[in-house]
């Protein structure tokens, strides 16, 4: 059961105005908008009614106004559930960027995403459409990437790649889902090849993906086609850096260019197992961490409800959102042409080392947004 609250939207019609898409050919991306660290002649904007996770990635230090009273859902501070945080952003972020959400489908009519979700693709045998989300998962993930108030790159286009639903049991954790996810990645690569006018392609995998030859090949194909691939580290509170199943059990996970993301809480702790909560995987193969505990995200229950989510599934899309922002307004230090390799390096180098606890060999690196607030929260 997830804690659910309703939105309070400010000037929503203005935010959902029609998109002005600037396109470039598929391939390495070209620096254009950001000049000497500034957004050309555009002044950064500040979103006033958003969630703590966006506030955290837009400042270098820890949150100081969260409080310690554990009266919120599942032992979180009460303020973790409030939407009164600030987030500096640019409303062009995500323009021309295609984000494939390999997951349980995306509710396209949710107010956070309405008008920016394509038809997508459904795994053979599932039935229905990709804009169904019977697992209350993919909608949340998409909203953190590109939601109007809860996401980072709110001009990005979401393409749902549905590889799970409740009717087939794939909402549950079963090994067969890894092959399904691999099929979804392969479809995303094929689809992206047809999009000559896309600024960039991103694949977010917040669904279970085992280390197999097939999954490595799929990710490699995506990277080769200049797609940025972000994958969740998993929620087993164990070392993520070795294969889980035969014949690759105990073999080290191969870095083929993917970004692997772990989960931290509001106090920059790696999320460990506690009653009612999952624990983030760890290890030196992780790229970095992002907030993933008591995260406010869109719900699939109707077109306005939001819910609190926890897991590496909800840390990974914040990285996807930052990448969508960066390819839209790249800083001078992100060398042109932008490739998945140069982006991964930049994401690591631009992150901060806040002293994350419980690392167990993981890198002490926490995601940072392209715009950093001068005032701490």
- Which of 97, 103, 339 shows the shortest CA–CA distance to 222? 339
- Catalytic site residue from 299, 313, 350, 351: 313
Chain position carrying tokens 């701490």: 376
Contact 269/357 with Cβ under 8 angstroms? yes
- Set out the domains of the chain in order of their start, with CATH numbers: 42-350 (3.40.50.200)
The Cβ of residue 176 has, within 10 Å, a number of other Cβ atoms equal to 11
Among the listed residues 184, 202, 207, the one whose alpha carbon sits nearest the alpha carbon of residue 137: 207
Which residues lie below 8 Å from residue 38, measured CB to CB, with a gap of 6+?
A: none
Whether 137 is catalytic: yes
Q: How far apart are CA 369 and CA 377, in angstroms?
A: 15
Q: Which two tokens stand for residue 62?
A: 């820890």
DSSP code, position 156: P
Q: Kindly name the residue from 7, 137, 211, 228 that is annotated as catalytic.
A: 137
The catalytic residue among 7, 29, 90, 103 is 103
In angstroms, the Cα distances linking 288 to 26, 331, 342 are: 27, 20, 15
How far, in Å, CA of 253 to CA of 147, rounded?
A: 32
Q: What is the pLDDT along the chain (377 residues), one digit of tens a residue?
A: 333 444 433 333 333 333 233 333 344 543 333 333 444 445 679 999 999 999 999 999 999 999 888 878 877 899 999 999 999 999 999 999 999 999 999 999 999 999 999 999 999 988 899 999 989 999 999 999 999 999 999 999 999 999 988 876 678 755 557 889 999 999 999 999 999 999 999 999 999 888 888 999 999 999 999 999 999 999 988 888 886 555 555 667 778 999 999 999 999 999 876 655 678 999 999 999 999 999 999 999 999 999 999 999 999 999 999 999 999 999 999 978 999 999 999 999 999 999 999 999 999 999 999 999 888 99
């Amino acid at each position: 059961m997830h804690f659910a609250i309703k939105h309070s939207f400010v000037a929503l019609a203005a935010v959902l105005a029609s998109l002005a898409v600037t396109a470039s050919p598929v391939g390495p991306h070209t620096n254009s908008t950001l000049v000497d660290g500034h957004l050309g002649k555009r002044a950064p904007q500040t979103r006033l009614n958003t969630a703590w996770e966006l506030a955290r990635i837009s400042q270098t230090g820890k949150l100081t106004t969260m409080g310690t009273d554990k009266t919120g859902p599942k032992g979180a501070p009460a303020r973790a559930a409030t939407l009164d945080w600030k987030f500096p952003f640019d409303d062009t972020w995500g323009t021309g960027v295609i984000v494939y959400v390999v997951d349980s489908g995306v509710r396209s009519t949710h107010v956070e995403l309405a008008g920016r979700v394509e038809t997508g693709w459904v795994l053979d045998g599932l039935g229905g459409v990709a804009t169904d989300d019977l697992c209350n998962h993919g909608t949340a993930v998409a909203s953190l990437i590109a939601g109007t108030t809860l996401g980072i790159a709110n001009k990005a286009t979401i393409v749902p790649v549905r590889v799970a639903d409740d009717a087939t049991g794939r909402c549950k954790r079963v090994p067969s889902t890894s092959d399904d996810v691999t099929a979804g990645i392969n479809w995303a690569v094929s689809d992206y090849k047809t999009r000559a006018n896309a600024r960039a392609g991103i694949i977010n995998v917040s669904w279970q993906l085992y280390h197999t030859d097939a999954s490595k090949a799929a990710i490699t194909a995506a990277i080769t086609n200049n797609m940025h691939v972000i994958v969740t580290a998993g929620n087993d509170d164990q070392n993520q850096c070795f294969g889980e199943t035969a014949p690759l059990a105990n073999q080290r996970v191969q870095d083929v260019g993917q970004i692997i993301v772990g989960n931290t809480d509001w106090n920059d702790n790696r999320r460990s197992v506690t009653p009612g909560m999952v624990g983030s995987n760890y290890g030196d193969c992780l790229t970095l961490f992002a907030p993933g505990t008591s995260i406010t995200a869109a719900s699939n229950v109707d077109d306005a409800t939001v819910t609190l989510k926890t897991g590496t599934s909800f840390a990974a899309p914040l990285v996807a959102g930052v990448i969508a922002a960066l390819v839209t307004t790249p800083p001078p230090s992100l060398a042109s042409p932008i490739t998945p390799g140069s982006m991964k390096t930049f994401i690591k180098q631009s992150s901060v080392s806040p002293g994350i606890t419980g690392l167990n060999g993981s890198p002490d690196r926490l995601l940072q947004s392209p715009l950093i607030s001068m005032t701490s929260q």
